[in-house]
Chains A and B, each alone.
Chain A
């Protein structure tokens, strides 16, 4: 009885872009025998955002996603669309889709069967939409998944997922091992045909450069903790990269850079977090750091 009331109270209202919290995690801990894959991770993800969860191997990315999807047990507080993934996984999956990586569609199934099945079990699946997406590809309904190329399998999976009217889409290394054409097309389709202000996308990937231009938010994870949580706008305002001539290197170092690396012609590149922009401008050419440079600077020493 109490649970029922709670469920009703937790029922989220119609989402409004940027205001509603889709995922709220407090103190997530996941212990394995000798290690902690998650070690007190806190983060929030809001509606209408495309969030990159980025971290080195073993940082806890996949474990965090599994916790969100109700695939693994954990300690701590986690609410996804107002639900507890541990207790309400089937209900949650009506609103959440995920692509766990390229090769999870069952190899024995026919394309038509896969579509029939999803249409049969998923109340929010739009079959006509899925078929429209597939018309643009070379996939034919009688083929079995094992007869498709890796790129085509992803196209099929994406067509299925994009035809589901879900509020949260979780992508775990969705383009791993694909050639560049499929990778570009993958993110292009997501942006053009799927994403809108009522939807939220959470992506983990190693290919940071590839998703950089579509992300609106960044979560850096390291050793099971969130070490940076920022929107892309905030990141641009907060982090600055300066190309410094050799004669000004000493001055640059006094401004407490978070990273320093060599560049051509004896110049150095300094990365600052929240330094005074006017002061920085005097040191040399100022620019916005790329996500991958920021990532490398933040994660320094991880493998040391």
Chain B
């Protein structure tokens, strides 16, 4: 392990983290912090309401403490769902932040250093362009998501602590009420296990963004986004003329969607739906988490979408490496 951390490749990945610390770490911390701040504001509002209007306004005769006790002690499934929901709210915000951060990180990964000419410094070191590009992919697909998942856990524990203090203030025992429930932590392990699944799923977008990042002279975002749109409009127009064209669904869903949106965590859930239906999973009635259980993740690897996309992604990454090696305009 020590030898791995001291290898040149580990330094390449570390370099990526240093450069993108703000997006990888601090954006996640701020997002989780915002949720915690909002919960504290909510608790304060509840307490103030209790003092101002008395208990009878919102709660039954036993007051807030009694309401909490009734709500939580006697309704364990509801409580577990609420705790899972808390974790998922951290996870969803984290996933949104992660999507944006990773998308723009990849667009800039092979472009920003060409723009400011620091590529000449990086290229003065004995590092192959292949290793450089792969280190950026590792940063985007493993480092950033692992940090996000860690911050989700920290945020959840923070929320539990805040709730515990609130419970204590009302003479309730937070250990028997909150901390005995291991389900949210099991859910968190699922988030962790999802990282490699998401990584393989994201490859086409990674390749698409890196190619433009490595190849264009300026405005990689425009190229990466405008080309599919122009192609889509042309395809639509050809269709209007009644000529043979690519099916719109395939074009927007399987080509453009995969090229631009596969970095969204758990994007493989949609093509996995058939399998989930065959298992009798009912999304409407509380089975949502079945979509990301271990068997669903395993099944995602049997989807042709997964492997065709990954192959396309790897081909695009190879092209990005080629551009990184030979693009020369500084």
Residues of chain A at the chain B interface (Cβ within 8 Å): 66, 69, 71-73, 89-94, 97-101, 103-110, 113, 116-118, 120-123, 157
With a cutoff of 8 Å between Cβ atoms, the chain A residues found around residue B119 in the complex are: 104
Known: A72-B328, A108-B19, A109-B18. A122 touches B125 (CB 8 A): yes
Closest Cβ–Cβ distance, residue A39 to chain B (whole Å): 18
Judging by beta carbons under 8 Å apart, are A121 and B118 in contact? no
B8 closest partner in A (C-beta): A121
With a cutoff of 8 Å between Cβ atoms, the chain B residues found around residue A118 in the complex are: 125
Judging by beta carbons under 8 Å apart, are B121 and A123 in contact? no
Q: Is B175 on the interface with A (CB-CB < 8 A)?
A: no
Main DSSP-derived SS at the B contact region = helix
Q: Is B287 on the interface with A (CB-CB < 8 A)?
A: no
With a cutoff of 8 Å between Cβ atoms, the chain A residues found around residue B15 in the complex are: 113, 117
Judging by beta carbons under 8 Å apart, are B116 and A93 in contact? no
The residue that B113 contacts in the complex, of A106, A110, A122, with Cβ under 8 A, is A106
Q: Is B249 on the interface with A (CB-CB < 8 A)?
A: no
Q: Which of B190-216 contact A (CB under 8 A)?
A: none
Closest Cβ–Cβ distance, residue A203 to chain B (whole Å): 15
* 11 more CB-based (< 8 A) A-B contacts, given A98-B124, A100-B330, A106-B19: A73-B328, A98-B120, A100-B117, A100-B120, A103-B116, A106-B113, A106-B118, A106-B122, A113-B18, A118-B125, A120-B8
With a cutoff of 8 Å between Cβ atoms, the chain A residues found around residue B12 in the complex are: 121
Name 28 interchain pairs, CB-CB below 8 A, sorted by A.
A69-B124, A71-B123, A72-B328, A73-B328, A89-B128, A89-B325, A90-B131, A92-B126, A93-B124, A93-B127, A98-B124, A100-B117, A100-B120, A100-B330, A101-B117, A103-B117, A106-B19, A106-B118, A106-B121, A107-B116, A107-B118, A108-B18, A108-B19, A110-B18, A117-B11, A120-B8, A120-B10, A121-B127
- B116-148 toward A: CB 8 Å interface, digit per residue (1/0)? 111111111111100100000000000000000
Interface centre among A98, A103, A117 (most CB of B within 10 A): A117
Closest Cβ–Cβ distance, residue A145 to chain B (whole Å): 9
With a cutoff of 8 Å between Cβ atoms, the chain A residues found around residue B123 in the complex are: 69, 71, 93
Judging by beta carbons under 8 Å apart, are A121 and B126 in contact? yes
Q: Which of B85-125 contact A (CB under 8 A)?
A: 113, 116-125
With a cutoff of 8 Å between Cβ atoms, the chain B residues found around residue A103 in the complex are: 116-117
A91 to B125, CA, bound (A): 10
Judging by beta carbons under 8 Å apart, are B125 and A93 in contact? yes
The residue that B121 contacts in the complex, of A73, A105, A108, A120, with Cβ under 8 A, is A105
A57 to B205, CA, bound (A): 42
For the complex of A and B, the 7 pairs showing the least CB-CB separation, nearest first, are A120-B11, A106-B118, A100-B120, A93-B126, A90-B128, A121-B8, A104-B120
Closest Cβ–Cβ distance, residue B282 to chain A (whole Å): 50
Closest Cβ–Cβ distance, residue B135 to chain A (whole Å): 10
Judging by beta carbons under 8 Å apart, are B124 and A100 in contact? yes
With a cutoff of 8 Å between Cβ atoms, the chain A residues found around residue B131 in the complex are: 90
A92 to B6, CA, bound (A): 22
Q: Is B14 on the interface with A (CB-CB < 8 A)?
A: yes
Q: What bracket does the count of chain B residues touching chain A fall in?
A: 20 to 34
The residue that A122 contacts in the complex, of B6, B19, B126, B128, with Cβ under 8 A, is B126
With a cutoff of 8 Å between Cβ atoms, the chain A residues found around residue B325 in the complex are: 89
A63 closest partner in B (C-beta): B328
Q: Which of B1-50 contact A (CB under 8 A)?
A: 6, 8, 10-12, 14-15, 18-19
Closest Cβ–Cβ distance, residue A63 to chain B (whole Å): 9
A94 to B11, CA, bound (A): 16
Judging by beta carbons under 8 Å apart, are A90 and B127 in contact? yes
A221 to B118, CA, bound (A): 27
A108 to B124, CA, bound (A): 18
Closest Cβ–Cβ distance, residue B241 to chain A (whole Å): 36
Judging by beta carbons under 8 Å apart, are B14 and A117 in contact? yes
Q: Is B326 on the interface with A (CB-CB < 8 A)?
A: yes
With a cutoff of 8 Å between Cβ atoms, the chain B residues found around residue A69 in the complex are: 123-124
A66 to B117, CA, bound (A): 14
With a cutoff of 8 Å between Cβ atoms, the chain B residues found around residue A106 in the complex are: 19, 113, 116, 118, 121-122
A109 to B12, CA, bound (A): 13
A59 to B126, CA, bound (A): 29
A110 to B19, CA, bound (A): 10
B9 closest partner in A (C-beta): A121
With a cutoff of 8 Å between Cβ atoms, the chain B residues found around residue A101 in the complex are: 117, 120
A94 closest partner in B (C-beta): B126
With a cutoff of 8 Å between Cβ atoms, the chain A residues found around residue B18 in the complex are: 108-110, 113
A105 to B116, CA, bound (A): 9
A101 to B330, CA, bound (A): 11
Judging by beta carbons under 8 Å apart, are B121 and A100 in contact? yes
Closest Cβ–Cβ distance, residue A119 to chain B (whole Å): 8
Closest Cβ–Cβ distance, residue B132 to chain A (whole Å): 10
With a cutoff of 8 Å between Cβ atoms, the chain B residues found around residue A110 in the complex are: 18
Closest Cβ–Cβ distance, residue B196 to chain A (whole Å): 26
Closest Cβ–Cβ distance, residue B101 to chain A (whole Å): 16
Judging by beta carbons under 8 Å apart, are B11 and A121 in contact? yes
A15 to B202, CA, bound (A): 50
A66 to B12, CA, bound (A): 23
Q: Which of B249-269 contact A (CB under 8 A)?
A: none
With a cutoff of 8 Å between Cβ atoms, the chain A residues found around residue B122 in the complex are: 106
A75 to B283, CA, bound (A): 63
A89 to B8, CA, bound (A): 16
With a cutoff of 8 Å between Cβ atoms, the chain A residues found around residue B126 in the complex are: 90-94, 121-123
A113 to B117, CA, bound (A): 19
